[in-house]
Amino acid sequence: MTEQGEFARLAGADSRAALVTVVQGPTLGAKLLVLPDGAATGTLGDPELDRLAADAAGDLIWAERSEMREVDEVKLFVDVTAPAPRLIVFGAVDYSASLCRLARASGWRPFVCDPRSQFAVPERFPDAEEVIVAWPEEAFALAGGIDRATYIAVLTHDPKLDDAALTIAVRSDAAYVGAMGSRRAQAGRRERLLAAGVTDEELARIAAPIGLDLGALTPEETALSIMAEVVAVRNGRDGGRLGASAGRIHEVGA
Tens of pLDDT along 170-196? 999 999 999 998 888 888 899 999 999
DSSP type of residue 124: G
pLDDT at 206: 95
Q: Looking at 59-68, 103-112, 114-123, 240-249, which range is the least confident one?
A: 240-249
Does residue 241 belong to any structural domain of this protein? no
Does residue 226 belong to any structural domain of this protein? yes
Helix, strand or coil for residue 63? helix
Does residue 240 belong to any structural domain of this protein? no
pLDDT at 254: 45
Helices (H), the chain: 3-12, 47-63, 94-105, 136-142, 159-170, 183-195, 200-203, 219-234
Does residue 248 belong to any structural domain of this protein? no
Residues 104 and 39 in one domain: no
Residues 41 and 119 in one domain: no
pLDDT at 73: 86
Residues 95 and 189 in one domain: yes
Residues 116 and 7 in one domain: no
Inform me whether the pLDDT recorded for 244 exceeds 80: no
**Average pLDDT of the chain to the nearest whole number:** 91
pLDDT at 151: 97
Domain boundary among 36, 61, 81: 81
Inform me whether the pLDDT recorded for 250 exceeds 70: no
Residues 20 and 123 in one domain: no
Mean pLDDT is highest, among 18-22, 55-59, 178-182, for 18-22
pLDDT at 252: 47
Measured torsion, CA atoms of residues 202, 186, 167, 62, in degrees rounded to the nearest 10: -60
Residues 149 and 134 in one domain: yes
Instruction: State the pLDDT confidence band at 251, using cuts at 50, 70 and 90.
Output: low
Domain boundary among 28, 61, 81: 81
Helix (H) and strand (E) counts in the chain: 8, 11
CA distances from 171 to 36, 96, 112, 120, 227 (A): 20, 23, 20, 25, 22
Nearest to 212 by CA among 252, 168, 176: 176
Residues 160 and 223 in one domain: yes
Tens of pLDDT along 41-54? 999 999 999 999 99
Nearest to 181 by CA among 151, 222, 124: 222
Give the Cβ contact number of residue 202 at 10 Å: 17
Mean pLDDT of 243-252: 57
Domain that holds residue 172: 86-234
Tens of pLDDT along 132-181? 999 999 999 999 999 999 999 999 888 889 999 999 999 999 999 999 98
DSSP H/E element including 23: strand 17-24
DSSP H/E element including 34: strand 31-34
Does residue 10 belong to any structural domain of this protein? yes
Residues 76 and 91 in one domain: no
Does residue 172 belong to any structural domain of this protein? yes
Does residue 158 belong to any structural domain of this protein? yes
pLDDT at 245: 58
Between CA 91 and CA 120 the distance in angstroms is 8
Residues 96 and 73 in one domain: no
Domain boundary among 17, 49, 81: 81
Residues 76 and 93 in one domain: no
pLDDT at 136: 94
Beta bridge partners of residue 70, listed in sequence order: 75
Domain CATH number, residue 96: 3.40.50.720
Between CA 17 and CA 42 the distance in angstroms is 14
Inform me whether the pLDDT recorded for 8 exceeds 90: yes
Residues 123 and 187 in one domain: yes
Residues 66 and 99 in one domain: no
What is the domain count for the chain? 2
Does residue 244 belong to any structural domain of this protein? no
